[in-house]
Every structure is written in structure tokens, then in C-alpha cells.
Amino acid sequence: MVGDCRGCIAALDVGTTTVRCHILNSSAQTIGTAHKKVTLHYPHPGWVEMDPDEIFADILQVIKTAVENANITFTQIESLGISTQRATFITWKKDTGETLHNFVTWKDLRAREYLKVLNNSWRMAFFRYAASLMYWLTGIKKFGMASKLKIMSSHVSGRFLWVLENMQAVRDALESDNLMFGTFDTWLIYKLTGSRRHVTDISNASATGFYDPFDLNWGTVAKLLKIPIQCLPKVVENDFDFGKVDGTFFGTPIQIACVMADQSSSMFGSCCFADNDLKITLGTGAFLNVNTAGKIHPSLNGMYPLIGWQQGQELMYMCEVPCPDAGSLIEWLHNADLVPDASITSQLAASVEDNGGVFFIPAFSGLGPPHNNETAGTGFIGIKPTTKKEHMVRAVLESIAYRTVLCYELLKKERNSKYHSIHIDGGVSNSNFICQLIADLSGLPIIRLESSEISVLGVAYLSGLKCGFWESKEDLMNLKKLHDVFKPTKDKNIIEMYNKNLKSWMAAVKRFYSWY
């Protein structure tokens, strides 16, 4: 690709599956790109880690390659925007910067047994009872949420407590006031700035499970769980002055204009700026998010109130329903030799009229809302002598759509609002089969933008606003490029068949409860 402007933006996205970097010009055109597959490590059953040295080397290489492919120099990069996976953390020594263990990713289940004990402890029981009493007295939903508090493996809090209890080097560093904690964004900023910043952006902080989105601090849950506050980073807005990338990495310093959590960034990149704007990201996991504007939405049914972003004084909240597995299922199909290439899964699924009575339960990392079951097993049910590979592939794709639609149904029960369409992004959104099935089951048009890598676009947009490429969100809306709109079917027979299959799938899910 050929560079065509004096100033460009580098947008980096560090996901669980891929590290990618795009170079964009002031017209939001991608003039250079590069990506590299993330290597995950599984040292023990249920453990999912990343090597910090390995991932940092990959990040530097991907940025360098993207700049080379754009045919520009690093001096032409106006700023860098960073989007990162959430709820993945690491600890390191304050005096040397030496990491004390690998990244513990958001998909890691090592703390599962530890959390069973914690959630059944007298401390948690008393907390829930006190919160329930306050909810009864005041009717304030924040207390209602607290009365149902259950620490899940997806929360940083439980895995961090496990690390504190089981890793002597971490305890030693804490006792000598030499411990630093950070989610991926914190550590990456620390590394890129030459150890000059120990901060986390507010969207990543709100996804840890122990940052209080109501009071905007490391609050009640952190104190309840005895999280050591002294090792936590300062929480800052998304367009904070993060400093510059140290000149030793790329030959010249580069301003870090913004940092965002991946789901927040994809909301921003989808231009979901208005109240009740709705999007689904189908990446490694599936995440349904709704913009709740300037008001936090306490949920009593498994949705999570999060900070979408803070841009200057503007604070945007969103609600989320997560599913831990989506793209990871497609990757498994390939690794298990059920498909030669992930790109043909839709073609295989559509090659048969139906699933042949086969259903797949996607619980590699447990089942999220509305099931909230971390002990469920993964597997097929309904396999017969006539079952073909195509039926199995279709069952896996259908399970992704079913989980996504259940998230939407939970949202509808929770928020009495009218939704007119759903934006969709992430690598799995390239599957026409899944997009159409979600449209048919939800009854809403599914809007797919020209690029499926919207989290990259989100931090590019926010960086561009900060450095003056664009002046307002209206300018960003004008840059939005639709690619496909999947309209829900009006065929009653098809709708009836899908609804029947969904009910059968939900019955099958219950058979896989409490496997572990």
C-alpha cells in the first residue's frame, strides 16, 4: 500500500486470538496493516496464559510491519491508539519491572475451585445478606446487584486472589511493597513508555470485577475481597495523556493518544453513540453491548454495568451480556480437523437443510448469562449413524447464534426499550450463516460494516478526534461504511423451525450442567 498523507494514525488491537495494527489516514482509509496470531499457553488443565516477552515482541513487530506496508516512516505517525483485551492481568516488580508470572487471561479457569469456597464463605454470605437488607429498605438497585454478588472466573478479582495465595514470589513482592498489578493495557503502557506510567483506562478498570462503576473507584468489592489497593494502577480517562512510546522502540517517540478496552472500542468504532444503540462483537468470545448513555444501569439478571468510555468530561455507560466462546469454537473446528479452513464453515453449514437433530453445547470456558454455569461440559448431543460432518459444523455455528440471541432476550427483559437494529463485528461476523440466523431469531436487521475489525477503528477514531483529524462524532458518523444488512426472514415455517431448535438446544444445555 502507498502512504498518501503527511500525518497518519496507528491503531493497535491486542486481542486473545490476534495482534493487529492498522495505519489510517485522515479519511479513515487503511493504508497499511499487519497482524500476527497470539500464542496461548495451557500449562495445566483450565489454565490459559500468554508469555509477556513473546506478546510484546509480537506487538512491536506488527506495528513495524504495518508502517512498512503503509510505505511511510514512523515520523509520519501522529499518534497511537491502543485497544486491548479485558480482564487479562499480570504482576511485576516495581524496582526492576521483572514480571512474576505469565499473563493470566480472561479465559483462565484455574480459580474455579477457589471461587467455589469463596462464594460459599461466611464473609460473602454476610455481604449478600447486608446488601439484600439495604435493597429491601431503599429499593436502590445497586444494593440489589450486590445481594446477588458471585465472583466468577471471568472476573480479574478471583484469579488475582488465587495468584496472591498460590505464588510465593507475588506474596513476597507485596509484603516488601514492591508489587505492581496491571491488566493488559496497564502493562503495555508501562512497557511502551519506558516504565514511566502505571495507569489503567477506565473502560478496562470497570471490567476487572472490583472497580466500582457507581462510585468510580477501587471500591467496595476490592475492600470486601481484601485486594491490595496499594499495588493497583491509577484509573484515568480514555483520552488521558498517556505519554509517548519510548524512542528506542521505533527510532522516534510516538504519542499514545488513547487506550480503550476492546468492547468499548468496538462500540466507538461502530458509532454506537446514542442511548440504546446496540452491537454484538463475535470475536474469541461473544459480547452484546448496549449504550445506556450517561446513566449506569444496575442489573439484577446477569448483565454487567460497565464504563463504555470517558472522553474528557463525557462519561458513557454501557451494559454487557458476555459469552466466553465464539471464535474459539471456530478455531476448535479447524484444530479438530472438522474443517480444513475456518473460512468455509458457513458454506459447510448451509450445505445441509438442517442440523440433523445434532446440537452442540459451547462451554469450553463455562456458560455465561443467563446460565452462569462454570461447571458445564462441552459436547455434541443427538449424533446418529446418519450424522455427517456438515451437521456437526452447522450445530456449532447454530450454538453461537443461540447464545447470542439468548443474550439479546435477556437484554429485552432487563431494559424496556425498543431496538431497531444490531451492529455486528469481530472475525466471526464474517459468517453470513451466523449473521442471518441471529437476524431471523432476534427479528432485527443485523448491520455489518465494511471492516469486521471495528475495535481497531474505535481507537483510530478517538485518536483522530484528539489530534484534530476530525472535529466531532458527526464527522465519524459520515465516515461509516455499511457492507451488508441481514434482514430477518418473514417465512413463518423457518421461524417456527428455528424457535423449535432453540428450545431443543436449551433443553440439551441443561444435560451438560455440573459436568466438572
Contacts of 462 (CB under 8 A, 6+ apart): 81, 238, 239, 257, 258, 260, 265, 268, 309, 311
- So what's the pLDDT on residue 168? 98
Give the rounded percent of residues in the chain with a pLDDT score beyond 70. Answer: 99
pLDDT at residue 322 greater than cutoff 70: yes
Does residue 6 register a pLDDT over 70? Answer: no
pLDDT at 1 exceeding the cut of 60: no
Q: Is 416 contained in some domain?
A: yes
Shared domain for 337 and 465, answered yes or no, is no
Residues 469 and 505 in one domain: no
400-416 average pLDDT score:
90
Distance (Å, whole) CA 204 – CA 188: 13
* Predicted pLDDT at 212: 93
Question: Same domain, yes or no, for 422 and 331?
Answer: yes
The average pLDDT across 137-147 equals 92
Query: Are 198 and 66 in the same domain?
Result: yes
pLDDT tens digits along 115-135 = 999 999 999 999 999 999 999
Whole-number pLDDT of residue 440: 96
Q: Is 371 helix (H, G, I), strand (E, B) or coil?
A: coil
Has residue 285 been placed in a domain? no
Residue of 63, 65, 2 whose CA lies nearest to 29: 2
Question: Mean pLDDT throughout 412-430?
Answer: 88
User: Does the residue 316 lie in any domain?
Assistant: no
By residue range, what is the domain housing residue 30? Answer: 8-110+153-270+451-479
CA distances from 14 to 38, 84, 262, 341, 342 (A): 9, 5, 8, 23, 21
User: Sorting pLDDT into bands at 50, 70 and 90, what band is 416?
Assistant: confident
Render pLDDT for 286-298 as a digit per residue (tens, 0 to 9): 999 999 988 998 8
Residue 2: pLDDT above 50? no
Task: State whether 99 and 210 are in the same domain.
Answer: yes
Place of cell 472497580: 211
pLDDT tops 50 at residue 3: no
pLDDT tens for each residue of 224-241: 999 999 999 999 999 999
CATH number of residue 496's parent domain: 3.30.420.40
Please tell me the pTM assigned to this model.
0.91
* Phi/psi of residue 409, nearest 5 degrees: -65, -40
Q: Which ranges of 320-371 does DSSP label H, i.e. alpha helix?
A: 327-335, 345-350
Other C-beta atoms lying within 10 Å of the C-beta of residue 389: 13
**What is the mean pLDDT of the segment spanning 191-195?**
95
Please check whether residues 372 and 500 belong to one and the same domain.
yes
CB atoms within 10 A of CB 417: 12
Q: Is the domain of 472 the same as that of 487? A: no
Residue 170 in domain: yes
Residue 27 has pLDDT above 50, yes or no: yes
Looking at the domain assignment, is residue 400 inside a domain?
Answer: yes
Q: What is the mean pLDDT of the chain?
A: 93
Domain identity same for 343 and 421: yes
Task: Flag whether 315 is in a domain.
Answer: no
Whether 5 shows a pLDDT value over 50: the answer reads no
Determine which of 34-48, 348-362, 413-427 has the lowest per-residue pLDDT on average. 413-427
